[in-house]
Structure 1
Amino acid sequence: MTTYTLCIFTGNTIGLLNRITIIFTRRRINIESLTVSETERKGVSRFTIVIKHDSREDVEKLVRQIRKIVEVMAVFGYLNDEIVFNEIALFKISTPLDAKTLDIETINKQYKAWVVYWGLDYVVIEKTGTEKEIFDFFEYLRQHEILEFVRSGRVAVGKTEKGLVEYLPEAEWEYYL
């Protein structure tokens, strides 16, 4: 199966997420990851959706269907080598007095992860990277008691020189300061 990342730019409208995801449901395509956030343009949201699918033709049909939604301004489909992408994960690790000591130097230097909260009985470690890098770090942490683990969806930008400005004329939108 091939991994596709769809970037959908929309107006910020109630119920739009449901209308977009129903298209995937109807086509029986599972969403692996979904992230929604504001863009550099006020009132414009970006959906980053990751899917795995066998047929490029089916994905192209999906993109055409999404483009028909009135609030959708632009849709782009990418393969992994066409984008820069990352995820973020948080790990809550138990640190009672009798537990194995965390090797913070290895965590920082080898895995490029950081302690973002140090409590009395646990620490919270943040790791950014690809899905593989995050799960490699997860495997390393198995030697400790993992109390909680949470991972975001993918965030991505295209490797093309063009950005949102090229597709939505500047005069129409306010920027965040």
Structure 2
Amino acid sequence: METTSKQFTVSVYTENNIGLLNRISAIFQRRHINIESINSSVSEIENVSKWTIVVNLTEEQMKKIIGQIEKQVEVIKAYYHTEEEIVYQESCIFKMKSDLLFNEQQIQNIIIDNNARIVTVNKQFFVLEKSGRKEEIELLYRELSGFGIMQFTRSGRIAVSKEEMKISKILEAINY
């Protein structure tokens, strides 16, 4: 029996119904599994939402949870992926004092070196955006934190699988 936890990215294709998020998060909560990140968006299929959930657990636990998720009426299909099976990104934005942008050459170098993008600038603050892997975002956070970050927020993971997902064929078969 496998006892080593690893990170999995779960893709859940669902109808967009009230209360489903509560029920799915309860599946993880009952097993004392922390959700590292969760993202919900439209999918490539009309009227179908895609949730991307990141968790750390064993593969045996993951298989059981996928089974529980798929028992939810609104869930069309759920998949889980290892890090090697997906391409993913996260996004973040930083709000910083504007005088730093104009008076600190090091800030400008950090922005360039990290492939970050300035979203807006005014007299009081500027907003910086960065998309990338979690490690890239954490590095930029560490580099900027010494200058005083006014606000910071990071998105959940968004991901696509490297292998073809059969979800469209499944939906055709059930006339969705």
TM-score (norm 2): 0.89
Question: Are residues 1:56 and 2:56 paired?
Answer: no
Q: Once superposed, what is the RMSD of the aligned Cα atoms?
A: 2.0
- Determine helix, strand or coil for the equivalent of 2:99: coil
Query: 1:166 Cα shift?
Result: 3.1
Mapping of residues 97-176 of structure 1, within 5 Å: 100-101=104-105, 103-108=107-112, 110-162=113-165, 164-169=167-172, 172=175
User: What stretches of structure 1 of length at least 5 have no aligned partner?
Assistant: none
Q: Which SS does the other structure have where 2:49 is aligned? A: strand
Query: 3-state SS of the aligned residue for 2:73?
Result: coil
Post-superposition offset of 1:65: 0.7
Instruction: Identify unmatched segments of 5+ residues in structure 2.
Output: none
- Asked if the contact 2:86/2:160 (under 8 Å) is kept, the reply is yes
Aligned length, in residue pairs: 171
Give the structure with the higher percent helix.
2
1:81 counterpart = 2:84: yes
CA contact (8 A) 2:94 2:149 kept: yes
Percent identity over the alignment is: 36
- Looking at structure 2, the residues matched to 58 and 107 of structure 1 have their Cα atoms a distance apart, in angstroms, of 41
**Alpha-carbon deviation of 1:102?**
5.4
Query: Does the CA contact (< 8 Å) of 1:6 and 1:75 recur in 2?
Result: yes
Work out whether residues 98 and 121 of structure 2, in 8 Å CA contact, stay in contact via their aligned partners in 1.
no
Per-residue deviation, 1:66: 0.6
Q: Deviation at 1:61?
A: 0.4
TM (normalized to structure 1)?
A: 0.88
Instruction: Name the CA distance, whole Å, in 1 between partners of 2:20 and 2:47.
Output: 13
**What code does the residue aligned with 1:104 have?**
Q
